[in-house]
Chain A
Amino acid sequence: MKDERILLAHGAGGKQSRDLIEGLILKYFDDPVLKNLSDSASIKVPSGEICFTTDSFVVNPVFFPGGNIGKLAVCGSVNDLAVSGAKPVYLSCSFIIEEGFKLSDLERILKSMAIEAKKAGVRIVTGDTKVVEKSKTDGIFITTSGIGIRFSSSPAGIEKIEPGDSIILSGAPGMHELAIVCARENLKFRSSLKSDCAAIGHLVFDMLSASKKIKFMRDPTRGGLAAVLNEIALGRNFGLKIYENRIPQTEAAKSLCEILGFDILNLACEGRVVAIVSSQDADRVVSVMRKHPFGREAAVIGEVASEFRGKVVMETINGYQRFILMPTGMQLPRIC
């Protein structure tokens, strides 16, 4: 197994395909619906509204401190559902694998996907595997789609945001992208930084259970906190004001950003949530979040303001103000 590799035959639909699916994939993805290996999964959903999402993952490198492409693929779709106010229940999972990819690496990826799905309470019920010729892809690409059941108390919606509301962030931003930086082979940084990659469905559920006055939630992935806040503010009648000294940050992250000239606010997270909450409930939501392993550093980092319409402003640690702009271009290629 250690040196065995994916062959084109594994994707040809014959015996080797079957062996790969039954011998390796079903070993970890053991859902009864999936095990039928039928063309589609037949699943029960309760009446009411469902949320449906899809996301593709192409991260380079495939393994990075704090996770791998498989964990990321499960967390990504789970988080997209959760911040939309839905309990994630079903996932599909599609692999595009490069000829020559190590089976042992595939197994590590499958294993972590299974663990992550179990933790998130989500079932992988359908999937697909394709193999492409050497150099037609970069190791492995994964697409997950997810179905979630709308929580009874979903966020009220971006249009309900008003001046005075609080902006809450669940933890230090940018850790995923910084971990990817450290894992890139041509950047030889040694650090203790780990990706924040995590499924935050349970955290979001606890938040929504604690308050009916959560107006908006988003997981700040590509473009980071800066992109999410600008998306919220763009074209609106209000501005967003955040405070640099309230944003949780580690020394390692700060130093790495200094060296590379990154703005931490522009860097991707894969296990954080930004929430806009009515100020009366902000402290309660934060204290609920802090009890959760993925929300220990949660803090109110700012508020919705009647000034700076359509813009995002940060008060720096020295008490001065600067605009936070929508990031343009890329900081690094292929981070998720």
Chain B
Amino acid sequence: MNFEAVIGLEIHVETKTKTKMFSSAPNVSLKEPNTAVTYLDMAFPGTLPTVNKEAVKNAIKVSHALHMEIDRELHFDRKNYFYSDLPKGYQITQQRRPIGSHGYLDLRTSRGLRRIGIERLHMEEDTCKQLHLSDYTLLDYNRAGVPLVEIVSYPELRTGEEARLYVEAIRNIVVYSGVSDGKMEEGSLRCDVNISLRPYGQEDFGTKVEIKNLNSLKNIEEAIEYEKKRQASLLLLGQEIAQETRRYDESRGETVLMRVKTDAVDYKYYPEANIPPIRLSEDFVKKAIEETPELYDAKLDRYVKMGIGEKEARIILLDPLFASYFEGALIKEATPKEVASFLIVEINSYLNKKNLTIGQLPLKPEAFGHIVAYGPKHGLTHQQTAKILEECLNSGISPEEAQAKLKIVALSSDEGEVKALVEEILRENPESVEAYRNGKDRALGFLVGQAMKKSHGKVNPALVSKLLQEGMK
């Protein structure tokens, strides 16, 4: 029997704001534990939540990017449960009316273009970070109250690849909209997978298993593919799938049982009376959308239209800072393709060598653009320009100074001049010409070498080679 996987994803994204979702404590991830905390975060009696406008804007930006309907009235609810990481004994969330609903994402998968429906996007607050030690647990309230958006897909994903592409697309949206740093490895983007199997053609869903702790795109894909196989083999043996929560063990490449789900917890949701319904003006929503920076897909399109290969464009877009550096370097005199090429190869290798990030590069993007443009303008080869770039990076000098320092001379590309030289060489080396004509390609290299020698390296070797070949036809 063949099975089809039914996969739904819940993604939590920590969003960037100055202060927390409902309190005035700073929203920072890297700080001494329990230093970014105010009264509400520790649930002191009498404290009240106030909704963070920036967090609402963030939610609008992501909702819009996911083609969602945006609720013009905000409603919040309480989700009630006792847990050590939940200071108030309830979490403020949006159960009844999520700010975003009914959206979708288009994915280019190996099965073709797939449109994945998204059920909802709602705002809520994060819990404390817990550090479980041998016989006690430490709580860090810095994370308590950090704004989150939760994005819930419809169960319309079918493969690990689709899930990976879906999460990647969402990550690109939250990162490029400036809403989050979207770092899965640091937990600012967290993904839970719900997966069940059913025979092809069956309408009803099978028993679903939840997979948690997926901290990379690769793990999402692998965990799903493993889980599909695991569930299929159980079903083929006539065994039931247990409703359980599993985690992915990266080293073993397997999902491992965390806990069997008994009856679902009743969260006793009910409206949060301390936050009145908040009407969002059209203007507020419009502004939030308008101030959203250009997103990943739009950038990709634009880069490709500039003449950059899609592969190269995606490399540049791996990091928004990299992309913004790239865009800063696009001065009129430099071709985008050249800028991309120098950025991906030369700049990247420099960063790797020095163990720097793009933000630490000692060269402003416009200056980089000028160096890229400098080469062609002064008749230098790519290689020569690369040397100048390296020198500029190392010594902080101008390209003119670097060229002088490295004694790099422009190669002549004057066809008349080069042609005269080539004719001279052909005349002086009849044996080599003969050899070339007899199929000995190596002779061409010798002839180019002779030309370079004679001109003291001042001609463009590519042009010499081309003219030599023409002359020997």
Answer yes or no: are A and B bound together in one complex: no
User: Which residues of chain A have a CB within 8 Å of any CB of chain B?
Assistant: none
- Chain B positions within 8 Å of A, measured between CB atoms, are none
